DNA sequence: GGAGATTGTTTGGGGATCAAACAAATTCTC
DNA sequence: GAGAATTTGTTTGATCCCCAAACAATCTCC
């Protein structure tokens, strides 16, 4: 009798996992995240995908309040506080007092933040290009389209 | 003069974000994760997608070591320890001593763990059905295929 | 003007993650 | 076979993300 396969050191039996959208989504996301981190590390910059999204949102929606921003990215307002603290300490972002509503902070990028964002955007484009290098332009379109469908579909339940 | 658009309370300007694979991936993943959590909460079960994946892996690869498992799911071996501790405390999983290598633990589900996993798998299937309800079977196939491409493509860099 | 709601913050409690150090066990080297 | 190098699981320490609850300041509505 042949010995049992024992431990296939290379790959494991993943059972039903590869047929699950959630699992494949997580895997792809994790791979993309790794390349993002790698791209920024190699360029000597430190930024997470979440921070990049936040900076873009603040840049494109000047005067945004923390509540509005927290809602836009789907986290609690208390979670946002230390994130903004750090970005502010790095000189990328400022909390101005709103002239119309004393409770809210009007968020805005500093000039240094604007310049940094332009730099970050260049890196993100390079990163996107790399992870999409094995897909055709049409495939990318289809993929983004299907991801949007998954997002808005799940959202409605 | 007309007042500026101020705060479009409903939606924000997301700039280039919707064209980024990484961003759309994160959004879809987050929506799917929410539905996963919701499905389990409503059924009175407590489990994360990561824990489900881990249980499936242990189930399908009996005798797996902690190192092999950590590598399979892409985390550090020290990160795995408290995760296994919790699963073990819940009576779902056990660390046996390997007869062939005294350093490693041979992981295995307990009988209760097997039963729980069957229950979890039912919930996961219902969850998958729901998040895929706005996509055709062909679309799901294409999506999973493209996600695999993204994963293995990014991996090779 | 006062009640109620909103906003940003702080605090407390889970977890996830990695890096470094360690003991036990195995494997490699001579 | 004895000693060196490696591997494995664990602990500790450091960041970070996340939420819920409480709080003061401010605004809104009546």
Contact between A97 and A106 (Cβ < 8 Å)? yes
Chain A CA closest to residue B29: A25
What SS3 class is residue A144? helix
- CATH number of the structural domain B19-155: 1.10.10.10
B152: chain A residues, CB-CB within 8 Å: 134
Question: What is the phi/psi pair of residue A39, to 5°?
Answer: -55, -45
The Cα of A1 is separated from the nearest Cα of chain B by a number of Å equal to: 20
Rg, Å, chain A Cα set: 20
Give me the mean pLDDT over the A118-130 stretch: 96
Do residues B50 and A154 make contact, with C-beta atoms less than 8 angstroms apart? no
Q: Rounded to whole angstroms, what are the CA distances from A142 to A3, B29, B142?
A: 45, 17, 9
* Å: A2 CA to C16 C1': 41
pLDDT over 80 at B10, yes or no: no
- What length is written for chain B? 157
Mean pLDDT value across residues B5-15:
66
Would the pTM of this model clear 0.75, i.e. be above it? yes
Query: In the CATH hierarchy, which top-level class contains the domain A28-155?
Result: mainly alpha
Is residue A36 within 8 A of residue A50, CB to CB? The reply is: no
Nearest C-alpha neighbor of B57 from the set B65, B43, B32:
B65
Say which nucleotide is closest to residue B77, CA to C1' distance: D9
Q: How far apart are CA B66 and CA B105, in angstroms?
A: 7
The answer for residues whose C-beta is within 8 angstroms of residue A53's C-beta and 6 or more apart is A73, B17, B23, B26
- pLDDT level of residue B96 (50, 70, 90 thresholds): very high
Which residue ranges make up each domain of chain B? 19-155
Contact A149 B157 (CB under 8 A): no
Q: How far is A85 from chain B (nearest CA, A)?
A: 22
Least confident piece of the model among A59-63, B7-11, B136-140, B149-153? B7-11
Chain B residue numbers touching A7 (CB-CB < 8 A): 61, 63-65, 68
Which residue among B33, B74, B148 sits closest to A24, beta carbon to beta carbon?
Answer: B148
In this structure, the number of other CB atoms found within 10 A of the CB of residue A131 comes to: 25
pLDDT digits (tens, 9 = 90+) for A58-75: 999 999 999 999 999 999
């Amino acid at each position: 009798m042949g010995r049992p396969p024992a431990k296939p050191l290379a790959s494991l039996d993943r059972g039903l996992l590869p047929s699950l959208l959630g699992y494949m989504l997580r895997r792809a996301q994790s791979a993309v995240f790794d390349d993002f981190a790698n791209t920024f590390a190699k360029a000597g910059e430190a930024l997470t995908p979440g921070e990049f999204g936040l900076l873009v949102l603040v840049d494109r929606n000047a005067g945004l309040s923390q509540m509005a921003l927290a809602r836009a990215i789907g986290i609690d307002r208390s979670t946002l506080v230390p994130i903004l603290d750090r970005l502010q300490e790095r000189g990328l972002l400022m909390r101005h007092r709103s002239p119309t509503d004393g409770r809210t902070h009007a968020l805005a990028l500093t000039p240094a933040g604007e310049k940094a964002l332009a730099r970050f955007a260049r890196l993100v484009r390079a990163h996107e290009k790399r992870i999409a290098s094995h897909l055709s332009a049409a495939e990318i379109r289809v993929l983004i389209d299907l991801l949007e469908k998954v997002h808005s579909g799940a959202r409605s339940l």
